[in-house]
Copies of this chain bind each other. A is one copy, B any other.
Amino acid sequence: MLSPVSQPHQFSAVGQRVQPGEVLFLEGDPSNQVYELRSGIVRGVSVSCEGERQISAFFFAGDQIGLPVAREYRFTAEAVTEVGYVVHSATRWHETFLRSSREEGRLLPSICAEQDPIFRRGIIIGRNGVLVRICAFLISVVDRLPEEGGALVFPLPQVDIAAYLAITPETTCRGFRQLREMGVISMPRRDRLRLIDRGWLEALASGMQP
């Protein structure tokens, strides 16, 4: 809260840093800046009318979020880990977008990139079965996690995973335990993940019975 990043005035394309839990932008704010993530993980949070907190998507290094597809941001972006990013003014981003879009003859994949994880979540949580959801979620994120010492860096708290999968933290925990006991994954540390049998994980994500 004392960090200098809360200053309202920022320069275009200047690197910024935020600590875990801090907000990049708020749902409903005018979308006049695009955030390009350099490092860390960001969660897209939507609060339903009754105040229930849902996570629409996780975003990783390389992703651009806050694209001006609507007048306002459609979700709140919060740092899960420490996050490095650069901001672009929406108008400047828009010019660049138009130029490359004209050359390619189709819309930039960047739009797709922000919408895709949201779309995918809808499919994942539409499937019944906790284990199926967790496995599908893992499959969708493991390729974006950096490796360190033979294991993936997996700094997502289970409460966030639960909010993403529309289940409770307790159920999330039990699901991970089951995967560990089956020998599909292992977690050398709280924030480390190792895929022991990726094929099995994918099979479980496809609905195979344990």
Q: How far is the CB of A24 from chain B (nearest CB, A)?
A: 18
The segment from A6-14, A121-129, A174-182 that touches chain B is A121-129
Of all chain B residues, the one with the shortest Cβ separation from A108 is B69
Q: Is A54 an interface residue when CB atoms closer than 8 A count as contact?
A: yes
Q: Which residues from chain B contact A116 at a C-beta distance below 8 Å? A: 70
- Quick one: CB contact mask for A101-135 with B, threshold 8 Å, 1 for yes? 11001110101100110110111011110000000
A71–B106 alpha-carbon span in the complex (Å): 8
Give this chain's copy count.
2
Q: Is A46 an interface residue when CB atoms closer than 8 A count as contact?
A: yes
Q: Which residues from chain B contact A126 at a C-beta distance below 8 Å? A: 48, 54, 125, 166
A contact set with B: CB distance below 8 Å? 46, 48-50, 52, 54, 56, 67-71, 74, 90-91, 94, 97-98, 101-102, 105-107, 109, 111-112, 115-116, 118-119, 121-123, 125-128, 166, 205-207
Q: List 22 A-B contacts (CB under 8 A).
A: A48-B123, A48-B126, A49-B205, A49-B207, A52-B127, A56-B119, A68-B106, A69-B112, A70-B109, A70-B116, A74-B119, A94-B101, A94-B105, A98-B98, A98-B102, A107-B111, A111-B111, A115-B119, A118-B119, A118-B122, A122-B125, A125-B126
